[in-house]
Structure 1
Amino acid sequence: MLMIGPHLSIAGGFKKAGEEAVKIEANTFQFFTRNPRGGKAKALDSDDVAGLRQIMDNHGFGPLLAHAPYTLNMCSAKQETREFARMVFKEDLMRLEELPCELYNFHPGSHTGQGVAAGIAWITQILNEEMWPEQKATVLLETMSGKGTEIGSRFEELKMIIDQVALTNKIGVCLDTCHVYSGGYDLVGNLDGVLEAFDRIIGLNYLKCIHLNDSMMPFGSNKDRHEKIGFGTLGIDTFKWIVTHPQLRDLPFFLETPQEDTGDYQKEIELLRSF
């Protein structure tokens, strides 16, 4: 069965999020490790975590995805911003040791005028200093749209990071469909060509999950504006090809589409499963 789920709040606890996922017929979900704008993470409750584990076991869940806050920027020119990113990253990885979640996704960040090479050097320094061989989580670099001084809109940039990380068995990529399309990779007209480029430059073995998002913006716009599945410039057929593609269909998929309530997520899940 297709592994697919929404982005859910954990403000009410992990067990509640798991129950909400089951209610809308999801078999995984993504969550922010803390407030997306930063801040202190809520203390873990062992009973709450045990409740989530039970739900996942009972309903055959696929891998969950933890998402770092947007304020995490490992490659800023400001030292205090980088040190905040280091602190959050380290703390998040330690917390994941206690959760039934083995995927951790973050935005590579913005180099803020230093240049791509300098930005990547800061990113890999933190990764190499804070990751450890026995850690449970695989750290995922998210593909970006390329706005401003973002790093990660080109596959080559992600490859440069991966090549400089010592623990290559603990690093991977989360491909965001909206971001990739806005970044100039034509998922609509040439999905196979995009996957061939990804495999040639990075390696499909590094692709661990997919953010399924339509886009409000045109191809190559470098704008990050998510839209509901089938209501944007990627179109419904593109998502049919993605979730049924033999090189992608066994990956976990996560929806980050605009929603009024989780019932909208359920409609998208039903649609995508119908393919």
Structure 2
Amino acid sequence: MLNIGCHLSSAKGYLHMGKEALAIGANTFQFFTRNPRGSKAKAIDPADIEALLQLLEEHAFAPLLAHAPYTLNPCSADPKVREFARIVMKEDLQLLELLPGTRYNFHPGSHVQQGAEQGIEMIAEILNEILQPQQQTTVLLETMSGKGSEVGRNFTELRAIIDKVELQEKLGVCLDTCHVFDGGYDIVGELDKVLAEFDNIIGLERLLAIHINDSLNGLGSHKDRHAKIGQGNIGLEALSAVTNHPQLKDLPFYLETPNELPGYKAEIELLRSLYKW
């Protein structure tokens, strides 16, 4: 079965997200650990978490994906912004110990005129502060489209971050199809070549999640504008090739397309109908 879900709101609680996922035919989902543009985490109800864990087990869910808020920038030139990133990520990892097996995804950040090399140093510095040997959660670096001064615009920059982190076994990568396409990786015409490059630079064993999105813009545009499945410049055929690729087919896929729940349900049904395994 294709392991696929979408981004759900945690506003009504964790069990509610699990039930929403089931209602649209999903067997995993992504959620923000807190307001995506805020700082305060919602208080945790242990009974709510326990009920979700039971539901996940009963329905054989694939790993969930927690997403750090967009406001994080661990490589900001402003020390206060970096400290905010450190505090939030540390708190999030403590929370996720209550959800064993969940992975934690974050955008590496923007160096803002400091240069990518300095940005990479700062990101690795924070990861070295917050990662703990005993933690159950794997932290995922997301591939970025390269707009502005984003770090993670190519596989080499992600590898450079990993190389500077002591607990590298706690790190993985989330590949976003819109981001890599906008970043210049031709997953439409040369998917095998792109995956071979990823494997050579980072290692496919570190690829633990995929954001499956179409793109409003063209190859190498560096824009990061998501489109509904089959309604962008990547297209349905190429995205189905991603979900069906022998090296990717067993990974969890998470939709971040501009949809409400009915739209996500339709996309899940569409991609499942094209899944050959």
CA distance in structure 1 between the aligned counterparts of 2:100 and 2:216, rounded to whole angstroms:
34
Give, in whole Å, the separation in 2 of the partners of 1:3 and 1:38: 30
Task: Report matched runs for 1:10-25 at 5 Å.
Answer: 10-25=10-25
Alignment correspondent of 2:116: 116
Could you report, residue by residue, the CA deviation over 1:113-138 in whole angstroms, capped at 9, with x for unpaired residues?
Answer: 10011111111011001111110100
Matched residue, 1:273: 272
Identical amino acids, percent of aligned pairs: 61
Counterpart of 1:262, as a letter, is L
* 1:1-275 alignment, distance < 5 Å: 1-259=1-259, 261-275=260-274
Cα deviation for residue 100 of structure 1 reads: 4.1
Quick one: which amino acid aligns to residue 185 of structure 2?
Y
Question: Aligned-pair distance for 1:99?
Answer: 2.0
User: What code does the residue aligned with 1:39 have?
Assistant: S
The secondary structure found in structure 2 opposite 1:74 is coil
Aligned length: 274
- Kept in 2: contact 1:215–1:234 (CA 8 A): yes
Whether contact under 8 Å (1:211, 1:255) holds in the other structure is: yes
Name the SS of the counterpart of 1:272 in structure 2.
Answer: helix
State the alpha-carbon separation in 1 of the partners of residues 3 and 116 from structure 2: 34
Within 1, Cα distance between the matches of 2:268 and 2:218?
A: 24
Letter of the aligned partner of 1:194 in structure 2? V
Question: Which residue identity lines up with residue 195 of structure 1 in the other structure?
Answer: L
* Structure 2 unmatched ranges of 5 or more: none
Q: CA separation in 2, counterparts of 1:61 and 1:159?
A: 30
Alignment gaps of 5+ in structure 1:
none
Q: CA deviation at 1:266?
A: 0.7
Instruction: Provide, for residues 84-106 of structure 1, a one-character-per-residue CA deviation record: whole Å limited to 9, x for no partner.
Output: 00000100000001124420000
Distance 1:22 1:74 in 2: 35
The answer to whether the 8 A contact 2:184-2:220 is kept is yes
Q: Is the 8 A contact 2:100 2:136 kept in 1?
A: no
Q: Is the 8 A contact 2:100 2:137 kept in 1?
A: no
**CA–CA distance in structure 1, aligned partners of residues 161 and 269 of structure 2:** 36
The residue type paired with residue 138 of structure 1 is T
CA distance in 2, matches of 1:101, 1:76: 30
The one-letter code of the counterpart of 1:228 is K
Matched to 1:48, the amino acid is: D
TM-score (normalised: structure 1): 0.98
Aligned equivalents of 1:171, 1:98: Cα separation in 2: 19
Question: 1:100, 1:50 → 2: CA distance?
Answer: 11
Q: Which amino acid aligns with 2:197?
A: A
* Counterparts of 2:25 and 2:51, CA distance in 1: 18
Alignment partners' CA distance in 1, 2:102 and 2:267: 25
